[in-house]
């Protein structure tokens, strides 16, 4: 198992070595980058907004109902909602969700290219297939993830306000007070920095699984599942180290 | 001209190619024939550099691909066009974009010139009308014709075709064979076709290499195929006839049921 793991790590590093080479044509790179930006980034905005909106609302309700008491300040719910959204949800949890959506998309797309010999066709033409296919995906996801993090935080806060405006669980004034209490801008940047690493993990690891598919459609499905599982585990592990590193 | 010298290749300890040496000449269609699993595709993949042989050399007009650096190999590949078994067209691109792709990547032409060249190639294979379609909207024959257009877009010196007629009806196969042969002679390129279709062998086989169990078993022209005394070649060529004979009741009566 250790041998297999080391072999996979070696193959991954070699693939990344081929990926991070200067593209043959910058014009083609930017064309692909734009396509991936739309496919991986813009197409993920909807699901990020939807999930963040509901999670923001649910966190606010749970804190209000289960933690807040007469011994605690009225702004506790708003304060806790903001901290959870900024510190963990909008970076780590949101990237776990994206690992499912974007990771499986990348692995199955590249895997299908592999089994239908499209990657071989690129190689025969003299194109560095790793750089041509994978680099725009990594660049697009890493460059767009800060936007998704920002949208996620904003949607979470809107969700919390919905509980105040529509369900009247908390007053908007208390919520606003909590959201503004002891605000540390670094926490936002911490989420953004973490998400950059997570985006790299999602795009590169999924690409690795897709690129190394051997066989047919069943193997593509397996690669897609393995990509999601591996990305999720790596995101959770790296979250511990990054949180420790960025919090000190 | 492509010269293959003493190529050997194994997978998981199983020898797939044994000491194969052959020459493929310019301006002629060279065929590699043999049963499924005989090593034809492995040999072609070794020649184009998709697989690295364990020993031996492959020379493209004197340039040995087996000892080239990645950069040199990449430059050589720009002189190679390849038609894959399934077409290998890029799903997300239209037919025209597929043919323009190698030009977009490597040529110094302007957009109009590239588009004009791609349209010319599509016209050459009679696919101009389908230029705006996506690959999944095309029939098997149309996909193969588009793949040929993409393969010749960069005016290659070497053209490789892996099972160009697989999955095609006999009439469409004749069209594809005709195109490959015409393009080879028009441009004086070295064409290597991997096939087990006897119609192709008898139609366009100017130089035929027969591989049996990873060994070079026979080499010659299409005129020599039928008169050859090589047992393996005869077994391969006349298999189709024998299967046809099985439908004759008089023959069936004498056969065991296993």
Give the count of Cβ contacts less than 8 A between chain A and B: 55
pLDDT band of residue B258 (cuts 50, 70, 90) is very low
Please give the Cα distance from B189 to B156 (Å, whole number): 7
Residue B226 has pLDDT above 70, yes or no: yes
As a whole number, mean pLDDT of residues A5-32 equals 94
Task: Search chain B and give the residue with CA nearest A129.
Answer: B74
Interchain proximity B84–A120, CB inside 8 Å: yes
Residue A208: its pLDDT value, please? Answer: 97
Chain B residues contacting A via beta carbons under 8 Å: 48, 50, 73-78, 80, 82, 84-86, 88-92, 101-102, 104-106, 154, 160
Counting beta carbons within 10 angstroms of the beta carbon of residue B97, is it exposed (0 to 12), middle (13 to 18) or buried (19 or more)? middle
B104 to chain A: nearest residue by CA? A28
Contact yes or no for B126/B48 (Cβ under 8 A): no
* pLDDT above 90: residue A243: yes
Span A16-41, mean pLDDT? 94
Residue A230 reports pLDDT greater than 90: yes
Does residue A219 or residue B239 have the better pLDDT?
Answer: A219
Of A220, A230, A211, A227, the residue nearest A110 (C-alpha): A211
Nearest-neighbour CA in chain B from A113: distance (Å): 8
**Distance (Å, whole) CA B218 – CA B33:** 10
CA of B47: which chain A residue's CA is closest?
A124
Q: Could you state, in order of their start, the residue ranges of all structural domains in chain A?
A: 28-247
Who's near A104: CB < 8 A, 6+ residues apart?
A: A206, A224, A225, A227, A228
pLDDT digits over B82-120, tens only? 999 888 999 999 999 999 999 999 888 999 999 999 999
Residue B240: predicted pLDDT: 57
pLDDT at B224 over 90: no
A88 at interface of B, judged by CB pairs closer than 8 A: no
User: What is the rounded CA–CA span in Å between residue A110 and residue A29?
Assistant: 17
User: What phi and psi values does residue B134 have, to the nearest 5 degrees?
Assistant: -90, 155
CB contact under 8 A, B106 and A126: yes
Q: Is the pLDDT of residue A72 over 90?
A: no
Report pLDDT for B241: 58
Q: Answer whether residue A219 shows pLDDT above 80.
A: yes
Q: What is the tens place of the pLDDT at every residue in B172-208?
A: 888 889 989 999 999 899 999 998 888 888 888 899 9
Q: Which of A123, A125, A128 sits opposite B102 (nearest CB)?
A: A125
* Cβ-based neighbour number of residue A5 at 10 Å: 9
Considering only the beta carbons, identify the residue of A27, A35, A121 that sits closest to B88.
A121
Q: For B120, how many CA atoms within 13 A lie in the half-sphere containing its CB?
A: 11
Supply the pLDDT for residue A57: 95
Q: Which residue has the tokens 């996506």?
A: B134
Nearest CA in chain B to A121: B88
Q: Which residues of B8-43 are buried (b: 16+ CB within 10 A; e: fewer)?
A: bbeeeeeebbbebebebeeebbbbbbbbeebbbbbb
Query: Smallest CA–CA separation between A50 and chain B, in Å?
Result: 29
Q: Using CB atoms, which residue from A25, A117, A126 is nearest to B78?
A: A126
Confidence band, pLDDT 50/70/90 cuts, at residue B246: low
Report the chain A residue with the minimal C-alpha distance to residue B152: A125
Q: Measured between beta carbons, which residues in chain A are less than 8 angstroms from residue B80?
A: 124-126
For residue A191, is pLDDT > 80?
yes
- Does A28 sit within 8 Å of B105, measured CB to CB? yes
Q: What is the pLDDT of residue A169?
A: 87
Sheet with B190-195, strands from edge to edge, namely B63-64, B55-60, B2-11, B14-24, B215-220, B207-212, B29-33, B190-195, B158-162, B80-83
* pTM beyond 0.80, yes or no: yes
What residues in B contact A39, CB-CB < 8 Å? none
pLDDT per residue as tens digits for the range B132-178 = 999 999 998 899 999 999 999 999 999 999 988 888 888 888 888 99
pLDDT above 60 (res B257): no
Q: Do A117 and B85 touch (CB under 8 A)?
A: yes
* Chain B partners within 8 Å of A128 (Cβ): 74
Whether A22 has its CB under 8 Å from any CB of chain B: the answer is no
A20 or B197, higher pLDDT: A20
CATH of domain B2-79+156-253: 3.40.50.300
| Contact assignment for A24 to B77 by CB distance below 8 Å | no
Q: Where are the domains of chain B?
A: 2-79+156-253
pLDDT at B251 over 60: no
Q: Are strands B207-212 and B215-220 parallel, antiparallel or unpaired?
A: antiparallel
Give the nearest chain A residue to B107 (CA atoms). A25
Helix (H) or strand (E) holding B31: strand B29-33
Average pLDDT, chain A: 94
């Amino acid at each position: 198992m250790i041998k297999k793991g080391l072999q996979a790590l070696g193959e991954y590093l070699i693939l990344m070595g081929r990926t991070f080479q200067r593209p043959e044509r910058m014009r083609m790179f930017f064309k692909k980058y734009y396509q991936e930006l739309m496919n991986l980034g813009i197409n993920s905005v909807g699901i990020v907004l939807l999930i963040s909106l509901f999670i923001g609302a649910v966190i606010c309700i749970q804190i209000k109902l289960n933690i807040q008491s007469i011994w605690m300040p009225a702004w506790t719910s708003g304060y806790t909602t903001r901290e959870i959204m900024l510190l963990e949800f909008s970076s780590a949890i949101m990237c776990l969700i994206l690992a499912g959506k974007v990771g499986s998309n990348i692995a199955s797309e590249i895997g299908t290219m592999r089994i239908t010999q499209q990657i071989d066709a690129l190689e025969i033409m003299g194109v560095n297939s790793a750089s041509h296919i994978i680099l725009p995906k990594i660049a697009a996801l890493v460059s767009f993830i800060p936007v998704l993090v920002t949208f996620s935080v904003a949607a979470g806060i809107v969700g919390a306000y919905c509980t105040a405006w529509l369900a009247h669980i908390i007053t908007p004034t208390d919520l606003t007070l909590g959201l503004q209490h002891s605000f540390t801008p670094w926490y936002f940047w911490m989420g953004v920095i973490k998400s950059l690493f997570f985006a790299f993990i999602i795009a590169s690891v999924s690409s690795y699984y897709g690129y190394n598919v051997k066989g047919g459609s069943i193997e593509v499905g397996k690669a897609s599942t393995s990509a999601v599982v591996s990305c999720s585990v790596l995101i959770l592990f790296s979250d511990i180290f990054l949180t420790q590193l960025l919090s000190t | 001209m492509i010269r293959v010298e003493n190529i050997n290749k194994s997978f998981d300890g199983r020898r797939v190619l044994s000491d194969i040496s052959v020459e493929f000449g310019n301006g002629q269609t060279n065929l590699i024939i043999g049963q499924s699993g005989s090593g034809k595709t492995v040999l072609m993949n070794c020649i184009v550099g998709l697989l690295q042989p364990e020993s031996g050399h492959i020379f493209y007009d004197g340039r040995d691909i087996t000892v080239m650096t990645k950069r040199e190999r990449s430059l050589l590949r720009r002189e190679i066009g390849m038609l894959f078994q399934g077409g290998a067209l890029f799903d997300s691109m239209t037919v025209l974009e597929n043919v323009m792709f190698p030009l977009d990547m490597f040529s110094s032409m302007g957009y109009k010139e590239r588009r004009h060249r791609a349209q010319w190639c599509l016209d050459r294979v009679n696919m101009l009308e389908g230029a705006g379609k996506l690959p999944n909207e095309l029939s098997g024959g149309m996909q193969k014709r588009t793949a040929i257009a993409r393969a010749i877009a960069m005016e290659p010196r070497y053209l490789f075709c892996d099972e160009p007629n697989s999955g095609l009806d006999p009439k469409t196969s004749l069209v594809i064979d005709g195109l490959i042969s015409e393009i080879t002679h028009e441009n004086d390129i070295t064409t290597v076709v991997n096939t087990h279709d006897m119609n192709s062998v008898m139609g366009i086989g100017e130089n035929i290499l027969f591989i049996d169990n990873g060994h070079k078993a026979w080499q010659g022209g299409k005129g020599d195929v039928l008169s050859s005394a090589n047992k393996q070649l005869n077994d391969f060529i006349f298999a189709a006839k024998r299967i046809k004979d099985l439908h004759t009741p008089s023959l069936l009566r004498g056969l065991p049921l296993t």
